Chains A and B, each alone.
Chain A
Amino acid sequence: EADIYQTPRYLVIGTGKKITLECSQTMGHDKMYWYQQDPGMELHLIHYSYGVNSTEKGDLSSESTVSRIRTEHFPLTLESARPSHTSQYLCASSGPTTNEKLFFGSGTQLSVL
């Protein structure tokens, strides 16, 4: 059902590298989100966007940045990866109605050595 895609599925990278996690959706949704998920912990909202050229930081402070140049694309970038960034990153999108359901991608498991 979900038409939201994240790449790569897994990423193992060394400290100090710049990385970009890709997220694309084909549903035409204006609202998109990035959540960070650690084992045994709640999902934390780190970024969200309500449309092109609109980005906001979420509840959890993150050193990552996002951009929204096209409706369907919401990439997340880490300029200099550190071991503390090791986590699962989930991208989601939703339609225009308030508290409409979120469609989630399969996630990117990032490991920084």
Chain B
Amino acid sequence: AQSVTQPDIHITVSEGASLELRCNYSYGATPYLFWYVQSPGQGLQLLLKYFSGDTLVQGIKGFEAEFKRSQSSFNLRKPSVHWSDAAEYFCAVGARGGGNKLTFGTGTQLKVEL
């Protein structure tokens, strides 16, 4: 069975600073990988996903993530954070052939200081 670890529960960054949120996964083969964002009182929204091909994927709102097989990681990055990026971020993994059932990490709460 697959699993996801997000080692940072809370992260605080200043507006305009760069951001990296960590995600490590456990899966026996090449997984499907996702990052979702949840704003207060809202459902989760997909930021980006990796299925195959180019290991650097671009998403919405200026986010990108890089799949590193050797490190079993899929870290999320943004070069310049905006105050509106404050939210909770979830990394998720899906098994190939497992339908659309995803396994989520525990999330990272991002706070942005003005």
Which A residues lie at the B interface, using CB under 8 A?
1-2, 4, 31, 33, 35, 40-43, 45, 48, 50, 58-59, 90, 92, 94, 98-107
Contact = CB atoms under 8 A, between A and B. Distances in A.
Given A2-B43, A40-B9, A43-B90, A102 B100 contact: yes
Interface in B90-107: 90, 94, 96-107
B44 A102 contact: yes
Contact residue range for chain B?
20 to 34
Contacts of A98: 96-97, 99-100
Nearest to B109: A40
B74 interface: no
Contacts, number: 70
Given A59-B1, A90-B44, 8 more contacts: A31-B100, A48-B99, A58-B101, A98-B96, A102-B44, A103-B43, A104-B36, A104-B45
B106 A101 contact: no
28 contacts: A2-B43, A4-B43, A31-B100, A40-B107, A41-B106, A42-B104, A42-B107, A43-B44, A45-B101, A45-B103, A48-B101, A59-B103, A98-B99, A98-B100, A99-B49, A99-B51, A99-B96, A99-B99, A99-B100, A99-B102, A101-B46, A101-B49, A102-B36, A102-B44, A102-B100, A102-B102, A104-B36, A107-B43
